[in-house]
Chains A and B, each alone.
Chain A
Amino acid sequence: MLEFARLAVETVGRALPYFSVGPVFRGPAGGPVDIVVLYDGLAVDIVHYDPVSDSVSPKGRPVHYAGPVDTERVRRTVARVLRESVALEGAEFREPERAWVVPVAWRYLIILHVRVSWNGERILLDPHLQARLYRW
């Protein structure tokens, strides 16, 4: 178990340089501004964006914003943040999905949760996000 968790953290660390930014989602009625993070075309997770500070917001704090948003600026900011992010040295196991979840942090903020297969070797997609990405 410990070995799989260690592998999962290592896998996310190796995958991080290949993460890219996907489309920007706006919530209903000027809700949160979120951007999809992709790996090999898979939707991995979303990052919350704070239009007021032009920075990212940590998990658990989506920023509701009613004004217009420059999507290119959002993508550039989040791309820069991804380059500076690191995989934290710890993983939780989610039994229903049989997957490890490794947090990714930028400075002191956890911004992503990346799913990894039970043996710690492969990155897994977020099925609901993936469907949202290519259907709507």
Chain B
Amino acid sequence: MEKESFWTRIYRLGSIVGRILRWDRLVLAGLVVYIVLAFLQGSLAGPALLVDYSAVATLAGLIAGATMVEASGLLHWLATGIARRAPRGLALPIVLLVGGIVSGLTLNDAAVLVVAPLAVATARALGGNTAWALVLALASVNLGSSITPYGNPQGLIVYHYYGLSWKVYMSFSVPAFLPPLLLVSALGFFVGGRGRKGGPGVGVYWRTAFLGLVSIGVAVTAGLGGWPLVAAGFPIFFLAVSGLLRLYNLRALLLVWLAYADARAIGSLLRIGSPTGPVETYLYSVVLSLVVSNVPSTVLLLGSPWRPLLLGADIAGLVHPWSSIANLLGLRITGISMREYGWRSALLGGILVLVYLVLSFIFFGKT
């Protein structure tokens, strides 16, 4: 590729902000909501002060790591390798199931940065539907991360607040979230595509891939260890050293920051009591998660019965990008359009919310 002229680079740099505001409706919507909330709070910095900057720093590092992994071609190599070797039609289900299990063992925000692009790349390699692949990938990450106490922030919050043991937590989470994870993985059979291609395989820039994976590990470890500067700093440094700093997805980070600020600000303005009935708690949890996303809604409802609280927050997290930060990340990192993603996730998430509402009446209604 020819080198761009200096003025083209300046133009491109200067047009980034304009492009974000013009073409990224989610960011624009987030900014509008921020301004309204700041006005309601009486301070422009109000929502910004509510953001968990330690979490944002961890995410900043994760995005840098994921950028390197993506740029190295590792995910495409994995995707085409799986696509060529897996039995026909099973490539995407395998990616979804393994991705869901992996996300239970690590932070869902870290898992989504690998699983989402991998699922999309697999579908693309096989001529499948990439929008559905993303919806199913985000669902599998969200569901898989719900199975263990450490898979996602809301699970961690509930686990610590209610003083649960692993046994008690997972005696609920496994029967609650494993069946839909298996279902979501199976749905990948219908949308993943079956096309097979000849030709030579795709390669990987292994040095970049290694740095990317190490960066993800550093971001997760340092983030959990309470060293946000390390969590963000090292991966971004590695990204710069790899010559890929220009590829850093600032838009994804900005979107996450806005989501945190807006959700926390909305949460602080809401005055809601703690529901005590299990079905009522489930409904509150679902509705609040759809409005302020699942982590703030979990915090707002602490004190209510934990099983329906967790169920509502985790299932509602499948419905739209706003209901889970992981969804926002997955959407931005894969480049699938909101229009393609939106109605599909609402359909799948909406059906699961209703199914679990019925199940809540059956199982929780007895208590």
Contact = CB atoms under 8 A, between A and B. Distances in A.
B254 to A, nearest CB: 13
A134 B249 CA distance: 11
Contact of A131 (B79, B207, B247): B247
Nearest to A31: B8
B76 A125 contact: yes
A39 interface: yes
Contact of A135 (B80, B243, B335): B335
Interface in B218-252: 243-244, 246-247, 249, 251
A41 B203 contact: no
B70 A131 contact: yes
A18 B196 CA distance: 11
Task: Indicate the size class of the contact surface on chain B.
Answer: 35 or more
A122 interface: yes
Nearest to B79: A41
A126 B1 contact: yes
Contacts of A11: 200
A14 interface: yes
B76 A17 contact: no
A28 B8 contact: yes
Q: Which 9 A-B pairs have the closest CB atoms?
A: A122-B203, A134-B335, A117-B203, A127-B71, A41-B124, A18-B199, A131-B247, A124-B203, A11-B200
15 contacts: A18-B197, A28-B11, A39-B199, A40-B125, A41-B125, A42-B73, A45-B1, A98-B207, A124-B73, A124-B204, A125-B202, A126-B1, A128-B1, A130-B71, A135-B332
Interface of A: 11, 14-15, 17-18, 27-29, 31, 39-42, 45-46, 59-60, 62, 96-99, 113, 116-117, 121-131, 133-136
Given A135-B335, A136-B23, 18 more contacts: A18-B199, A28-B12, A41-B124, A42-B76, A42-B202, A45-B1, A97-B205, A122-B203, A122-B204, A123-B200, A123-B202, A124-B202, A126-B1, A127-B73, A127-B244, A131-B70, A135-B251, A135-B332
